[in-house]
Structures are given as structure tokens and as C-alpha cells.
Structure 1
Amino acid sequence: MPDMQPLISDFVLKLKRRKVEGSHAVARQTAELLRSVVSQHRMSSTNQAAALADAIHAVGEHLIAANPIELAVGNTVRRVLHIIKEEDISFTAVGIEGLSVTAVSDDECDSGNDDRPTLSAAVLASHARNALRAPSLQTLLDDIPVSTALTHSSSSAGDSDGKTAGDKSLKTRKLKHDVIAAIGDLIEEIDTCYDQISEQAVEHIHQNEVILTLGRSRTVKEFLYAAKEKKRSFRVFVAEGAPRYQGHALAKELVEKGVQTTVITDSAVFAMISRVNMVIVGVHAIMANGGVIAPVGMNMVALAAQRHAVPFVVVAGSHKLCPLYPHNPEVLLNELKSPSDLLDFGEFSNCMNFSTQDGTPLLNVANPTFDYVPPKLVSLFITDTGGHSPSYMYRLISEYYSADDLVVRRKSTS
């Protein structure tokens, strides 16, 4: 795809230089780029869905490698791969259902018997999607005899060989069109996640409650705005979120909306947590085990909330749901920012000259970006699909991602 190479290279460069940061912006721009890749892809292979998936894999591995800490890139790539498989299976199921109906009609004309099971395209597509999901009690109970329908319908497939060749181009165009439309729905889902989450605010924030949050999160801000618009009266403690102090910006925005706000230092969280009814925070990513990657200092807040039996609630869009586990080798849990956020180089430049006998400097400055909060410290996830417990994350993963796409394949070096 030579026409797409400049766009791909430009987005890769933006990811490397951190010009695009934040799960929402990264996920949306990744989805837009992949939609362009699908629209420009020339589907000339016999297996159209596999060829399209290979193209997405090839682009996805470059995007993920450009900035591994932005897990939303990999999430979006895997969502698009799952969309391709679902659309291909749905199209195939519709074709199978049509063949089954034709065969039954011929039998009715000859003998008047109707012994063959006929399943609708929707049922076949639903059962086919279950094949993409991880085993669970629900999928085991969904016992639909698809194999019987496939066996009977295959007998009529031979009569339609002449039509198959003529329908390949139609299937190719329809598959690409359906995938592009589904990616458009994904982009709309990313854009509307704030509204979907905010609609649930009145169910969780009650009158005269005290809420604590850390730093600044747009999801948390919109969530609190929605509760205020519903005439909820509550108070917010905002931990400033050092060393970036984004909590100061959130406090200003809440005050402008008429929310009673108190700014506290991060070190005062444990002292103030006993006055709090609920902790509501935004995160960078939700892992498959229900743990979260969040701004630095969040694990301290979660431990304080657990010590005082305060609910620790995470609000996040479904594009932040990562199908990987923290122990996976391809997951980069953290990165270090510039030490200048913590220390002024001019004041401590003299300290840089002191070192041990082996040359190791005596002064080291660590400025990590993220914390990892284990699932046992999380009380509830509020996503655009509703509220879920940490133990339910596996079910959402089975709906959004295919098991084969959890690790993006690497191109062969041979």
C-alpha cells in the first residue's frame, strides 16, 4: 500500500515523539488510520479476510513498537482484527443459510418432506462469534447444532459452483464495506464513551457525598459534571498529582462548574480518606486480570481506600480495556519522565560531580509515569457498557477481542 505509507510513517513518528498521548486520542487516531488502510487495501487474494487481517497486522506491529506504553494502540488494532473476523463469519453464515434454504425448497418440490434443520443467518452468525470467544459457562450452554446445518447445506454447494466465481467480487466489496462501517462504529464508540459513562453518574453519586480523586482525568471530570447537572450536591477532594500537578487544573474546572472542591497534597490522602465516601479515578489502561495502570500515586490511594473500606471506583472507556496481563513480556508497565519535573538542574548541578569510586553518580532522580493497582484493590469498573466487577473483565475481553490476536504477530526475518 504505497499510498498509505506516508500516513503510517507520520503517525509512527508522532507516537515516537510523544506528540500524540492519552488513550482517547491514540485510540481514535489509530482507528482512523486503520480504516484508511482497509479502504486502500487491494483485496486480490483468494482468502480476502486473511489478506486484510495480514495488512492490519503489518501496520499494527509498527504502531505498537513506536510507543509500547500506549496500550490503546494495541487494543484498537486487536479490535479491528476481531471486526474483520466477525464480518467474514457473518457473511459466510448468511451464505450458508441461503444454501440451506435452497436445498430444502428443492426437496419440498420433489418429495414434500422437510426434515432438514434450518437456522437463520443471525443464529449462525451468533454461534460463529462464540467460537471467537474464550470458553465460558454461557458459551457451553449455547448448544446450537450448526454442524448439522453445515452438513446438509454442503450438499447443495456443488450446484452453485458456477455462481461462486461470479460472487467473489461482490463478497470482496461487501466485506470491505462492512469492515469500514464497523470501524466507523468503533470510532463513534470511542467518541461517545464520555457521554455513556456520564449517564451513570446519578446511580453512583448521591446527595452530600464526599468524593476523592487524584490528578486530572477527563472521564472523571465529565462524570462529576453529569452528577452536578442532575442537581446532586457533593464535595470533591482533589489530590494534586505531583509532580505534574494536574489536580490543580481539575480543581479549577470543578469550581467553575459550582462544585465544592478541596485541593490536598498527595501525602495527605491517608489522613483525609476517612472523611471520604467514595474514590473515583481515571486510569491509563485496564488489564485482563482486572488490574489497572494508572498515574503514579494511585496505588497509594487504593491502599488507603482499602484500609478504610472506601469503595475504589474506576471510570474508563472500553478502548482502555487491554486483553494482556501485566506479566506478559510485550507489556511495558512504566516509563520514566524527565528529572526536571522533580529537581531544577541549576540548583543541583554541583551534585552531579559527586560519584562513587566506580563512577556511579551519588544523586539519581527517578520520575516514573504510572502505578500498577492490582484487581483486589478495585471495587468497581464503570465503562460505557455499564458497571462491572474486576472478575468480569475476562467476559468483556471475549466480546471485544479474538484469542488468536492477543499477541500481534511479527513478520518473518527470513
Structure 2
Amino acid sequence: MPDVQALVNDFVLKLKRRKIEGSQATAKHTAELLRQVVSQQRITYTNQAASLIDAVKAVGEQLIEANPVELAVGNIVRRVLHMIREENVSSAMSAVEELALGSDDDEAEHDNRMGLSAAAVAAAARSTLRAPSLQTLLEDIPDSATAPHPPSSGGDSEGKSKSAESSSRNKKLKHDVIEAINELIQEIDTCHELISAQAVEHIHQNEVILTLGRSRTVKEFLFAANEKKRSFRVFVAEGAPRYQGHVLAKELVGKGLQTTVITDSAVFAMISRVNMVIVGAHAIMANGGVIAPVGINMVALAAQRHAVPFVVLAGSHKLCPLYPHNPELLLNDFKCPSELLDFGEFSDCLDYGQLGDSPPIRVENPAFDYVAPKLVSLFITDMGGHSPSYVYRLIADYYSAEDLVVRRKSAP
């Protein structure tokens, strides 16, 4: 088996150097790395769930620090932590049921002892799942559950049996968590297909669709509608300064779609002719807001002004359980100024000797926009369509409250 720390260091280096970018790529690599971490975690007989949680948090902290802009990394770390907690509770409940069933044909004293053990297991599972609170502190655990049991004639054999049961339960927990992570990786791989399958429900005959830049999810969505023999037209805003809209337009024309390329500044002039705006996203925040490629907020404002539905396509791995105002979040990234202008064009403006005391020219090239939830009409995810007001419910299903903030390293 490869050394886990070596894999972590390699992935951290790739994130820092931007060799792996994009929500889907970073999410899949993170899930695969955490699967390795879980599979190679040493089994202990005390609290295997807590051991796995600590190991995943330690690795997740390094990954988030490497590139805080890739919010999908933190999303997957929190998803895996939630899986561990859920599988731990499921395992504990299964143990309780087995104890209850096994005690039916035993003596009364043995029944009592098994019942107390079941109560202790259930209490331990609850304490692992829930964050410390007044309710958990006051939650009554039977005093007799912690009381020493009277020695039995077969004490050694009983101790070995309990040790074997604990080892078996820990192995099952790791197996269940790894299976859950495999399902998560499969979910990430198939998110485009699941989103595209809903295209025929939203794109109708002779409609005009507008998008900006290039998104693989949007491309597959439009391809799927075209395969259903829906005849529609697409306006593609070029998405300056990277002009990824030109690439998308060529791909759409290659599939026989009627495509028109427009400049970003022409969006407001053309929006009145559009039936729907469909865009991709970098992340969906807990309040229903969207982190999207730069320029999309302008499109959203134009769509609101003309009452045009604004639809966002995103896989569930892009659901971020944090809010835009969280101080630990880094919501934007500034790309190289060379995408906006060539250095030689303004080299004279960057020379202090010619300009005296005046400051040099500044070139800002932000990567993302923030779109407020009130501007979004619908989210289409691999789990179906949802309104921005329903995002909180999805987050409650995917994340645990105590894992929303993964520890960050303090500055030296």
C-alpha cells in the first residue's frame, strides 16, 4: 500500500501549484485520498469512529490550507466526516439489536448485563454523533451502565469474546465507511449524466437559452436536450478575459445547435429575447448564494430586470455548508494580469522613473462573482431541482453540524 502521508503531500503540492483545478477534479481526488486515509488507519479497540474522524480532520486541514479557493475540497472532507458519524451510529444500533436478540434465551442476570451494555453502546454513539451541548450533558445514562459487573466464572473467555466483537465491529465500520466513500466517488463521476437527464423537463421547443463562458455541466445539459430532438437556440456570451465562450460555441455548433456568440457587454441588450438563462457554478453557499465565474452576476441582474428565469446547474459536491460571511472562507482568486493585457502594452506605465511619485497601474483580474440567492430561480443538481430556500435542507442531509468548520492552522 502507498504511504498515505506521501500521497497527502503530493496532492497538497498539486493544489498549491494549481495543477488540479475545478470542482469535480478536486472533489474526486479528495475523496480518493480520504479513502486511502480511512483504509490505512490503524484499528484500535477503544473508539474507532473518533480515530477516523481525527485522521480525516488532520488531512482535511492540510488540503483546505493548500488552496482555500477550491471549496469542493472542504465539502468532501465534511461529507466523509458525516459518513463516519452516520456509519458509527448505524453500527452501534446494529450492536444494540444483536444484544437484544441474543438476550432472549439467556438467564435473567445475563439479560440485565447485556441490556446495560446496550445502553452504554447507544450512549457512546450519541456522544460521538452530537456536538457538546446542555442537552447531551444532561442526557441520562444509566448509572448501572458504568457500574462494575460481578465477576463471572468464565471471565477470561468473556473478555476475549468482547475483544473479538470489538475488533469485528471496528473492521465493519471501516468497511462501511469505505463503501460510502466509493458511492460518493461514483456520485461525483456521474453528476453530469444525472443533471443532463433532467434537460428535457426544462428546455422546450423553439426556446432561446443564454449562457456565459464554458461549463461542462451546461454543455452536457444542452447536448442532452438536443438529443431529445428539441429545437432551440443558444446565445453564448464570450466570457472575457479567458473567452471560454468561444470554445463552448464551437462545441455546440459541432452538435448541430443554433449558436450565436455575443460580447459580455451585449448581455443586457439581448436578454429580452431570451427565455431562460442557464449557467454553471463554482460553489453553492449555505444561504443559497452562488460563487460563479466572473461576469455571471451581471447576467443574473439582467435576467432579474427582464423577469427571465435564472437556472444554476451544479453537482451536490458543490454544496458548501458555510456562509459567504464566514471569516475562514476565501471566496475569490485573482488570476494573472496577462489575461487582460500584454505587459509590453503598458510597460511605460509601470516605470516609476517616468511617472515620478505617481503609483503604477494596477490590473485586477478576479476569477469569481457572487450571485445573491434572490437572483436565482432554480438549482438543478444530481438530486433534482431545488429552490434557493431549500438549500439548507440539502446541507442538513449531507453534513454534520460539528464538522462545518474544519480547524485551520494558526499563522506562525
TM-score above 0.5: yes
Q: Deviations over 1:356-387 (max 9, x none)?
A: 765622x1111000000010000000000000
Q: Deviations over 1:147-205 (max 9, x none)?
A: 99x97x979x9798764222111112111111111100000000000111011001000
* 8 A contact 2:285–2:324 mirrored in 1: yes
Partner of 2:283: 285
Q: Provide the rounded CA distance (Å) in 1 between the counterparts of 2:243 and 2:51.
A: 47
Residue identity matched to 2:388: P
Task: Tell me the CA shift for residue 45 of structure 1.
Answer: 5.5
With normalisation by structure 1, the TM-score equals 0.86
Q: Provide the rounded CA distance (Å) in 2 between the counterparts of 1:380 and 1:189.
A: 21
* 8 A contact 1:45–1:51 mirrored in 2: no
Q: Secondary structure at the match of 1:36?
A: helix
Q: Provide the rounded CA distance (Å) in 2 between the counterparts of 1:357 and 1:104.
A: 92
Q: Deviations over 1:297-334 (max 9, x none)?
A: 01000000000000000000000000000000111111
Asked whether 1:360 is paired with 2:359, we answer yes
Partner of 1:28: 28
Q: Provide the rounded CA distance (Å) in 2 between the counterparts of 1:196 and 1:275.
A: 29
Q: Provide the rounded CA distance (Å) in 1 between the counterparts of 2:161 and 2:10.
A: 43
Q: Secondary structure at the match of 2:307?
A: coil
The 5-angstrom pairing of residues 241-260 of structure 1 reads: 241-260=239-258
Q: Secondary structure at the match of 2:234?
A: strand
The 5-angstrom pairing of residues 125-274 of structure 1 reads: 163-274=161-272
Distance 1:308 1:93, change over 3 A: same
Tell me, which stretches of 5 or more residues in structure 2 are unaligned? 109-114, 116-121, 132-138, 153-157
Q: Secondary structure at the match of 2:209?
A: strand
Pick which of 159-168 and 301-310 moved more: 159-168
* 8 A contact 1:381–1:388 mirrored in 2: yes
Q: Provide the rounded CA distance (Å) in 1 between the counterparts of 2:370 and 2:234.
A: 24
Q: Provide the rounded CA distance (Å) in 1 between the counterparts of 2:65 and 2:183.
A: 26
Partner of 1:301: 299
Residue identity matched to 1:47: N
Partner of 1:394: 392
Partner of 2:102: 102
Partner of 1:137: none
* 8 A contact 2:45–2:163 mirrored in 1: no
Q: Deviations over 1:254-310 (max 9, x none)?
A: 011111000000000000000000000001000000000000001000000000000
Q: Secondary structure at the match of 2:359?
A: coil
Residue identity matched to 2:359: T
Q: Provide the rounded CA distance (Å) in 1 between the counterparts of 2:2 and 2:53.
A: 18
Partner of 1:56: 56
Q: Secondary structure at the match of 2:214?
A: coil
Tell me, which stretches of 5 or more residues in structure 1 are unaligned? 109-115, 117-123, 134-146
Q: Deviations over 1:205-252 (max 9, x none)?
A: 000000000000000000011101111110000000000000000000
* 8 A contact 2:28–2:188 mirrored in 1: yes
Residue identity matched to 2:176: D
Partner of 1:136: none
Q: Secondary structure at the match of 1:328?
A: coil
Q: Secondary structure at the match of 1:241?
A: coil
Partner of 1:140: none
Q: Secondary structure at the match of 1:232?
A: coil
The share of aligned pairs that are identical, in percent, is 70
Asked whether 1:321 is paired with 2:319, we answer yes
* 8 A contact 1:58–1:411 mirrored in 2: no
Residue identity matched to 1:293: I
Q: Secondary structure at the match of 2:211?
A: strand
Q: Provide the rounded CA distance (Å) in 2 between the counterparts of 1:411 and 1:3.
A: 23
Partner of 1:371: 369
RMSD over aligned CA atoms reads 3.1
User: How many residues are aligned here?
Assistant: 386
Q: Provide the rounded CA distance (Å) in 1 between the counterparts of 2:107 and 2:385.
A: 51
Partner of 1:82: 82
Residue identity matched to 2:263: T
Q: Provide the rounded CA distance (Å) in 1 between the counterparts of 2:410 and 2:41.
A: 21
Pick which of 394-403 and 171-180 moved more: 171-180
Q: Provide the rounded CA distance (Å) in 1 between the counterparts of 2:411 and 2:305.
A: 51
Q: Deviations over 1:50-69 (max 9, x none)?
A: 01110010000000000000
Q: Secondary structure at the match of 1:349?
A: helix
Q: Deviations over 1:115-135 (max 9, x none)?
A: x9xxxxxxx9xx97xx769xx
* 8 A contact 2:20–2:26 mirrored in 1: yes
Residue identity matched to 1:337: K
* 8 A contact 2:311–2:380 mirrored in 1: yes
Distance 1:365 1:47, change over 3 A: same
Distance 1:356 1:395, change over 3 A: farther
Q: Provide the rounded CA distance (Å) in 2 between the counterparts of 1:176 and 1:325.
A: 32
Distance 1:412 1:177, change over 3 A: farther
* 8 A contact 1:12–1:63 mirrored in 2: yes
